[in-house]
Chains A and B, each alone.
Chain A
């Protein structure tokens, strides 16, 4: 069992009930003061609820960090015969699973918060836009909604206040861009999931052109706690600009892979080493990607940064929805950037040219570099095209797509340089730049490698050192993995 610090670095607000209650039992939720926040909110005016959320300092946990109370205030101020509140459960960043954990572990907290939000902005209808790849979350959320309805906590005249509110589910078909709120709304309307220009913002004109609030699952999960414990309590946690906690999914090369919830302002060092237990097998920590394909790589230089929205942006990354992919000395940062570009190239909706064509061009340049064919001119073009795409793409997906490149070029310039100038991959990841040779001092001539080599490029006499014919070697690494004497050298 990996060692875990006994010091309590974590603070669980959004995940307060996850793992402690039966998510399919509304009674378990009520036992922990469930739906009391809704009852309390309904005794306040909608403007008072908006002010409370504003005062708490809660900001969007989907990654953008827009103040939730301000957003709600805009929708409240826009008079309309119908308004909508939407929960964005289209979680899609590689390595991120915070929202699924909340929906599968404590669905009622989201249901209750949506009702509170609906009351605050004047919406009677809520929709959860959830990805169809989350069947268990859908099942538990459906049951939560049905049970809340049966108790009269959703439906007509909630708590005898005259407030009507109900929730329906809509399923995403797996398009990453639908996590962007305008694309999400179009998808809800049955149209192609493509973003539209802002303004108008959804809070002014969204779902069916009515004022619509789109909030992330984790944002909602904080709301009942804020209503019951007060804005001062919540704003007392965190940094000057960023209040409360953040749920992160620790993945990749880390000992304690898992979900954590930490107060804002915690340092990366505490997260990676004290909570996460560092990299496995004593490997050296190299970087952590926050914000998924929209974020950037933070390196050992950033370990003592206090995490909040602003500090991460200042380091060319972003908070993102909470994925933290940890990389160690065996990861090549050019390949990591290429991996994320491969993802965005697949997921661009194609509506705007900078994103559709730009992603492809960026990917091609990175591919060229990882194959040892890159030049310094490519490096300059990579940078200038990245900046242009940031400035000109239509939506958040395109605007943030170059971040993994810009941040790795900045922090790991030496690795790009090694690929281009020396035609070497320092982490020995890029296959095209690898060479396999046999150390004659260590080779015993056991002939095992000749048996596993798929192209039969290893030759030699039994009990004599063997050699690899580099011109025929396909760099599959089979000999390297099989050799019992560590005689194969990978460079």
Chain B
């Protein structure tokens, strides 16, 4: 990793990262909440089930990522799925069966699956 010495270099780095992320456009992003509590609630099992289902169906346009707390303790494990060109949707109560259903129904067919958590916050974007 090269070091960042000026604000310009930081901004150039940011652009490079944003370009890299833009190259993912057209891919489905599956973001699994993996804070301590989410893991305890079965977040990793949900992630593995989805990875397995994606592999079984030979899907190539899906990328996985982990994040921290999504704030919905009452609905853990939670997973956010962003289909290409669509707004991110958060699903709660994702056990193994629901995880597989999310891949086969929502990711593959765009069919809504029960357990959608509506966005009830405004978020400050810097």
A residues with a Cβ closer than 8 A to B are 1-2, 4-13, 15-16, 18-24, 27-28, 30-33, 35-37, 39-40, 43, 97, 100-101, 104-106, 134-137, 140, 147, 150-153, 159-160, 224-225, 228-229, 255-261, 275
Contact = CB atoms under 8 A, between A and B. Distances in A.
A30 B10 contact: yes
Given A20-B67, A151-B4, A258 B121 contact: no
22 contacts: A6-B118, A8-B120, A9-B120, A13-B124, A18-B68, A20-B123, A28-B17, A31-B14, A31-B18, A33-B14, A36-B14, A43-B7, A104-B36, A105-B35, A105-B68, A134-B36, A147-B1, A150-B3, A159-B4, A160-B6, A256-B72, A260-B71
B8 to A, nearest CB: 9
A161 B10 CA distance: 14
B59 interface: no
B31 to A, nearest CB: 8
A105 B122 contact: no
B69 interface: yes
B74 A261 contact: no
B110 interface: no
B21 interface: yes
A37 B92 CA distance: 34
Contacts of A8: 119-122
A159 B4 CA distance: 7
B97 interface: no
A333 B120 CA distance: 32
A5 B121 CA distance: 10
Contact of A22 (B67, B73, B93): B67
Contact of B71 (A18, A27, A134): A18
B5 interface: yes
Contacts of B124: 11-13, 16, 225, 229
A105 B17 contact: no
Contact of B69 (A11, A30, A104): A104
How big is the B interface, by class? 35 or more
A135 B119 CA distance: 30
Contact of A19 (B4, B36, B69, B93): B69
B10 A19 contact: no
B68 A30 contact: no
Nearest to A21: B67
A229 B5 CA distance: 23
A384 to B, nearest CB: 40
A16 B126 contact: yes
Interface of B: 1-7, 10-11, 13-14, 17-18, 20-21, 31, 33, 35-37, 39, 65-75, 80, 92-93, 114-115, 117-126
Given A1-B75, A152-B3, A12 B122 contact: yes
Q: Which 5 A-B pairs have the closest CB atoms?
A: A105-B68, A152-B3, A10-B121, A19-B70, A101-B69
B126 A30 contact: no
Contact of B65 (A1, A18, A22, A147): A22
B71 A259 contact: yes
B112 to A, nearest CB: 13
Given A7-B120, A19-B68, 7 more contacts: A11-B122, A20-B31, A35-B10, A136-B36, A153-B4, A159-B6, A260-B71
Residue with the greatest number of chain A CB neighbours at <10 A, chosen from B71, B80, B122, B123: B71
A106 B69 CA distance: 9
B126 A229 contact: yes
A137 B67 CA distance: 12
B126 A1 contact: no
Contacts of B3: 150-152
A251 to B, nearest CB: 8
Nearest to B74: A257
Nearest to B93: A1
A1 B98 CA distance: 14
Contacts of B18: 31
B21 A1 contact: no
A255 B122 CA distance: 21
Given A23-B67, A24-B66, A160-B6, A97 B74 contact: no
Nearest to A25: B65
A9 to B, nearest CB: 7
A255 B5 CA distance: 49
B126 A224 contact: yes
Given A12-B122, A31-B18, A258-B72, A105 B67 contact: yes
